[in-house]
A and B are shown apart, each in its own frame.
Chain A
Amino acid sequence: MNNRLSIRLAVIMLVIPCSLLVAFTHYPAIQALINSFWNNSSSRRPSRFSGIENYQALMEDDRLAQILINSTIYALGTIPLAIGLSIGMALLVNSRLPGTTLMRLSFFMPTMLPMIAVANIWLFFYAPGIGLASQILEVFGMPSINFLGRTDTALASMMFVAVWKEAGLFMIFYLAALQSVPTNLKDAAKLEGASALRVFWDVVMPLLRPTTIFVAVNALINAFRLVDHVIVMTEGGPNNSSALLLYYIYEVTFRQRDFAYGATLTVLMVGLLGLLAIVQYWVLNRKAHYQ
């Protein structure tokens, strides 16, 4: 009797999370895949099966090519920058300098702010003439730059915002990792004649590698996931120079209301992320553990 009841309970327990997963993850993904093989419907004409037409359009989309290049630059730029900055901040905060608690708080602050708020702060920061960035340039006697309004600076400006927001969180991971590096390993290296820099490169960095891989994975996911600041600050402009893949999907689907092509782009993105996930798991399994 008891047994039967527990099986029923088990089924219920399984069904609830599974149905959530199906409803909000698997079904939309599969629906997107299906939609990508149909053309867009309108009020006069229903949607009909169009085969790989959408994918042909994808291959010939010059704008998409530009956006994929943007996304690649964005990911390759933000990941090492965020890692470098967060290690630097973690080292600073882990040192015996005075005021480390205040430093920790201020480094972590951007992580707690919502991206929309961050974007608004940086809008002021980048404002030509009156913004802090322009004022800093002025101090060094350089002309004011309209960071968000120029094709050669817009994407880099977006990258800085993302790094600024992300690095605080990654710093926490590095701080935890730094504090778990045994002191006597550093001492041993020092007595072998290694300088502080050498100790860091030869002993500390290798022991931080699992953390670095973890952070890199997260930074990569964020590079595709976070587009709020692009929407708020540049809307992908000027001339697509700061548009990212997810922003493009948003624009195609909800501004142009081309659901079919939006679905096709989504399939592309899911495919890309899946591929990256496989590579990362392979790397994680091979390199992350020592003991």
Chain B
Amino acid sequence: MKSTGASLSVKGLKKSWGPTEVLTGIDFDIEPGGFLTLLGPSGCGKSTALRLVSGLDEVSGGSILIDGKDVTKVPADQRNIGMVFQNYALFPHMTVAENIAYGLKVRKVAKPVREASLERVAELMSLGPLLDRKPAQLSGGQQQRVALARVLVSERPLVLMDEPLSNLDAKLRTEIRSEIKALNKSLGITVVYVTHDQSEALSMSDTVVLMNAGRVEQVGTPKELYDVPATVFSARFIGTPPMNLLAVADVSLPDGVAASYGNDPADLLIGVRPESMQFPAGGADYSASCRITSIEYEGSVSLLHLTSKSGASFILSHSGDTLPSLEEKITVGWTQSAAHLFSKRTGERVLTSS
């Protein structure tokens, strides 16, 4: 059942509820068969954007193109889009089989074809023995599989997923995460996925659209978002623990960096990931002296919670064998390539020529 995915293009999408503007104009594109994630904190408008794409809510501005065709005004039932909901939205009065085949029945697919599709999908999602049960008799993970099966059976070219894993426990989540990813690749369907979990977004997506307060903060591959955060918000949102952002006063910069920044050097924020910091700081381009306030042991690494001269706290992920002791005054360092410079005023990344 290799179905070919559709391309999706969203241009200047806006949505307001009365006077409140929820989406202030967002843009993104996906290639057929791609996996795009809308990532952001709760209330950033990512689910709203998904509902607009699905056609369940009406747009206030902008356009939505599927395979190059403008579907902005097409009603939801005619967009040929599949959707997996956060709490699965299985029909409680129908059996698993009826739930899965409902869409085919509505579209008057002949019964033998319907049964063949059902059987194929049931096998794919290993739901065979559950087909006669009601949703209430299934576990969360099983319900999620049924919801996925319901979307897959219709062979829709575009599937939307609204935080589909958030109601599952950690183990099931990683299991179904890889299942979804595998289905996306093997069936060639295009997936738009909504989540607030950055590790989910980084591990599954081809493209991540990071959203904040109704607009797009950054679009890129997971690696781009991690390696080259475009804004302070991106830097803080991606990565666990998040990137450290230090004021110029706390850091000794290599010669010429501050000078090459056109504006007041005090406007600079120096970002560095906890895992890119070195201790001891030997031979590093940047360094900062600080005090260790607490140590969290996490197995492969230890997180050192540090306090700088000015009292700002930051984190270093330490993988060496020798642990410094609490309250010890140390100097940590990092290389030029690990340093990210931002403007405090605009929140944007600044490129220094050094």
Contact = CB atoms under 8 A, between A and B. Distances in A.
Of the candidates A190, A192, A290, the one having the most CB atoms from chain B within 10 angstroms of its own CB is A192
Given A184-B89, A185-B89, A191 B106 contact: no
A187 B103 contact: no
A181 to B, nearest CB: 10
Contact of B87 (A184, A190, A203, A207): A184
Contacts of A191: 54-56, 76-77, 79, 81-83
A291 B136 CA distance: 6
B91 interface: yes
A192 B91 CA distance: 12
Given A193-B106, A195-B77, A187 B92 contact: no
Contact of A188 (B79, B83, B107): B83
Contacts of A53: none
Interface string B125-162: 00000000010100000000000001000100000000
A193 B79 CA distance: 8
A274 interface: no
Contact of A187 (B89, B102, B134, B150): B89
A238 B86 CA distance: 62
A290 B102 contact: no
Interface in A47-101: none
Contacts of A185: 89, 91
Nearest to A194: B106
B106 A290 contact: no
A143 interface: no
A225 interface: no
A138 to B, nearest CB: 43
Bin the interface of chain A by size.
Answer: 20 to 34
Interface in B207-233: none
Contacts of B79: 191
Contacts of B91: 185, 188-189, 202-203, 206
A191 B102 CA distance: 11
Interface in A171-226: 182, 184-185, 187-195, 198, 202-203, 206-207, 209
Contacts of B134: 290
Contacts of A184: 85-87, 89
B113 to A, nearest CB: 15
A88 B94 CA distance: 24
Given A193-B78, A202-B102, A291-B136, A187 B154 contact: no
A189 B93 contact: no
Contact of B92 (A190, A193, A290): A290
Contacts of A192: 77, 102-103, 106, 150, 154
A190 B92 CA distance: 16
Interface in B92-115: 92-93, 102-103, 106-107
A132 B202 CA distance: 71
A144 B56 CA distance: 50
A188 B154 contact: no
B76 A190 contact: yes
Contact of B56 (A182, A190, A203, A209): A190
Interface string B59-86: 0000000000000000011111111011
Of the candidates A182, A187, A189, A198, the one having the most CB atoms from chain B within 10 angstroms of its own CB is A187
Nearest to B160: A191
B106 A206 contact: no
Contacts of A206: 91, 93
Contacts of B102: 189, 192, 202
B143 to A, nearest CB: 12
A193 B77 contact: yes
A198 B77 CA distance: 11
A208 to B, nearest CB: 11
B92 A291 contact: yes
Interface string B236-247: 000000000000
A182 B102 CA distance: 18
A202 B94 CA distance: 10
B89 A190 contact: no
B163 to A, nearest CB: 12
Nearest to A207: B93
Interface of B: 54-56, 76-83, 85-87, 89, 91-93, 102-103, 106-107, 134, 136, 150, 154
15 contacts: A184-B85, A185-B91, A187-B76, A188-B85, A189-B102, A189-B106, A191-B55, A191-B81, A192-B77, A192-B106, A192-B150, A194-B77, A194-B106, A207-B92, A291-B92
Given A188-B89, A192-B102, A193-B80, 12 more contacts: A184-B85, A184-B86, A187-B89, A188-B85, A188-B150, A190-B76, A191-B81, A192-B150, A193-B106, A198-B106, A202-B102, A290-B136
> 3 tightest CB-CB pairs across the interface, nearest first?
A192-B103, A188-B89, A184-B89
